[in-house]
Amino acid sequence: MWKPCFTEVLVVLDATRFLIENAQSFLRDEPVPHGSLAMKTKTGRILREPHGVIGIVSPWNYPFSIPAVEALAALVTGNAVVLKPSEFTSLVARGLESFLRTAGVPQAVFQAVVGDAATGAALVNSGIDKLVFTGSEATGKRIAQAAAARLLPVVLELGGKDPMVVLDDADLEVASSAAVWGAFVNAGQTCLSVERCYVHRSLYEAFLEASVEKTRKLRVGNGLDAQTDMGPMIHERQLRRVEAQVEEARIHGARVLTGGMRLPELGEIFTLRPSWPTPLTKCGSCGKRPSGRCFRSRLR
């Protein structure tokens, strides 16, 4: 899983700076004027108080920036935090815990607990006062159901199906570069990645040709190599999932114009060579809605 290491660090630094500069102002009591004449002699104010203990369940694709930003926001507003990271990135969570401990945050105020889905379920059903979850829609639904039983406040950031729209006045060079970067950054394992494109018919052929050409030029290899454009996926299960969905696209009529196969010479969990399928249907010409899981659910 490749990306510049400093990207996650910069995100956390930006969030830290924002909290330092704004925490005092948004925690300050806020006076509330009364609109009723009968209440003109009364005063009101909004008091912001900590929830208590915040549970955070974080994903593997951005294992430092996501939990760090969420934990720092919770801590600066007076809460304690229990972090349950993905079982695939537990060491990163331990590193975050070490950083906070060095900065003076007591163990009772921030703790990381490692484990699989059962550990996450135990956290949801524990005595926490609020839960922040980033992950799949299916898991988010189960968490929402469990939380509703005791009216536990939750924040859910779930998977989407992010489209890119290319209008008829778009710069093809910029648009095709944006599509390729947006689709394959972090080996495509990003919640905001481009997963489908809607292109104006007047630009479609040229846009497709440029995007395929740029995709073919991506260098796949060791994520620690500065010359690498795209590294391995997180694990074999994720690789099989993408393989299955590429195959489903084929079944529904798509043609894979480049890539789509494994690269065993690079390692067992290396990604498929970056692929660029044709559309499952040209919506503007046939008038039908695209079908298949590839158009409904996250590919990565």
For residue 112, count other CB atoms closer than 10 A to its CB: 22
Query: 300: closest CA among 199, 175, 196, 159?
Result: 159
Could you give phi then psi for residue 26, rounded to 5 degrees?
Answer: -85, -5
SS3 content of the chain, % helix, strand, coil (to 5): 45, 15, 45
The Cα-based distances of 113 to 163, 192, 217, 282 in angstroms read 35, 27, 41, 48
Catalytic residue, chosen from 191, 195, 197, 294, is 191
Catalytic residue, chosen from 157, 213, 243, 247, is 157
* Known active-site residue 87: no
Residues 6+ apart with CB under 8 A from 195: 161, 162, 163, 183, 298, 299, 300
* Known active-site residue 197: no
Query: 72: closest CA among 18, 127, 3, 142?
Result: 18
DSSP 34-46: --SGGGTT--EEE
DSSP 46-83: E-----SEEEEE--SSSTTHHHHHHHHHHHHTT-EEEE
Q: Active-site positions?
A: 157, 191
